[in-house]
Amino acid sequence: MTAHLTARADVETATAARYSKQLVSHLAHRVHFVTDGSTSTALFGEAKGSIVVGDGVLTLLAEAPDVEALARVQHVLGSHLERFGQRHELSVTWITSAAG
């Protein structure tokens, strides 16, 4: 897949690993995630979404060949994380850029 658009959201949380595990587990019935170290990645058709656990931050990454596919990955990852983190008032703000 050659991605033309990318987006990133860094969400501050002391429980990044827990939220990553919850997202991967919840979405596993629709997409297959591959976890390598602190990064879990899944394909959403032609697009790719990744969840990266950091120290005090959970980073969501989206790559896609078009705006619609990018928006789908952003919606799936972002809306679920916000719902799971509602009690801790987690908010996902995406920064989008064009690659190449």
- pLDDT, one tens digit per residue, over 2-60 is 548 999 999 999 999 999 999 999 999 899 999 999 999 999 999 999 999 999 999 99
The one-letter code for the residue type at 100 is G
Query: In this predicted structure, what is the pLDDT of residue 100?
Result: 53
pLDDT over 80 (residue 99): no
Using alpha carbons only, what angle is made at residue 37 by residues 33 and 40, rounded to the nearest 5 degrees?
A: 20
Query: What are the two backbone dihedrals, phi and then psi, of residue 40, each rounded to the nearest 5 degrees?
Result: -115, 130
Query: In this predicted structure, what is the pLDDT of residue 13?
Result: 96
For the packed helices 67-84 and 16-27, what is the interaxial angle rounded to 10 degrees?
120
Structural domain count of the chain:
1
- Contact by Cβ (8 Å): 61, 8: yes
Range of the domain at 24: 5-98
Query: In this predicted structure, what is the pLDDT of residue 98?
Result: 73
Using alpha carbons only, what angle is made at residue 38 by residues 93 and 1, rounded to the nearest 5 degrees?
A: 70
Q: What is the CATH number of the domain that holds 68?
A: 3.30.310.50
Model-level pTM greater than 0.75? yes
